[in-house]
Amino acid sequence: LKEKIREEMERYFGDDAKRIKHANRVLGYAEQIMETESGDRDIVCAAAILHDIGIREAEKKHGSSAGKYQEIEGPRIAEEILKRLNFPEVKIKPVLDIIAHHHSPRDGESQNYKVLYDSDWLVNIKDEVGLEDKEKIARVIENVFLTDTGKQLAKKLYT
């Protein structure tokens, strides 16, 4: 099922190799984090693959790929894909909920949300912070990561 969702994502993004690569890298980190953290594999993997799926509609409708527009457009597209693939009905809502605020954590987030959030940060931290200022990157790692595994992995990779 995971592979099917990946195929759908790749078809949807088409020749946008950068976004396909991003989704696949986030999925890779999510799976790595899930080796030690708990969470629902189906939900986390689906959310990792589809978290940025709203980006094209965001650009088309709102003229911007900004996070908040992705968050508005993403769930509808993800829902259509997951329903078509017979993704377990009870797990669709949690996936859509993660996509709908994947840049804006709230208090008391689910473990599934935390794993996806950290995986996205593991990929984005280089672009968001840069790698020159080691102190800054250490500070960001301390502040943004929501799971111990994600934090350890970020330290290992970037400090």
Rounded distance between C-alpha atoms, residue 139 and residue 134, angstroms: 9
Residue 101: CB minimum distance to Fe ion, A: 13
State the residue for tokens 């829902």. Answer: 79
Residue 128: CB minimum distance to Fe ion, A: 11
Rounded distance between C-alpha atoms, residue 121 and residue 24, angstroms: 14
* Binds Fe ion (CB under 5 A): choice among 112, 120, 144, 154: 120
Nearest to 106 by CA among 94, 114, 96, 115: 114
Binding span for Fe ion by CB under 5 A among 2-10, 64-72, 93-101, 120-128: 120-128
Q: What are phi and psi of 147, to 5 degrees?
A: -120, 150
Rounded distance between C-alpha atoms, residue 45 and residue 43, angstroms: 6
Kindly tell me which of 52 and 71 has the beta carbon lying closer to Fe ion. 52
Interface pattern 47-66 for Fe ion (x via CB under 5 A) = -----x--------------
Torsion angle of the four alpha carbons 144, 104, 94, 59, in this order, in degrees rounded to the nearest 10: -120
Interface pattern 3-42 for Fe ion (x via CB under 5 A) = ----------------------------------------
Binding of Fe ion by 73 (CB under 5 A): no
Kindly tell me which of 14 and 88 has the beta carbon lying closer to Fe ion. 14
Contacting residues toward Fe ion, per CB under 5 A: 52, 120
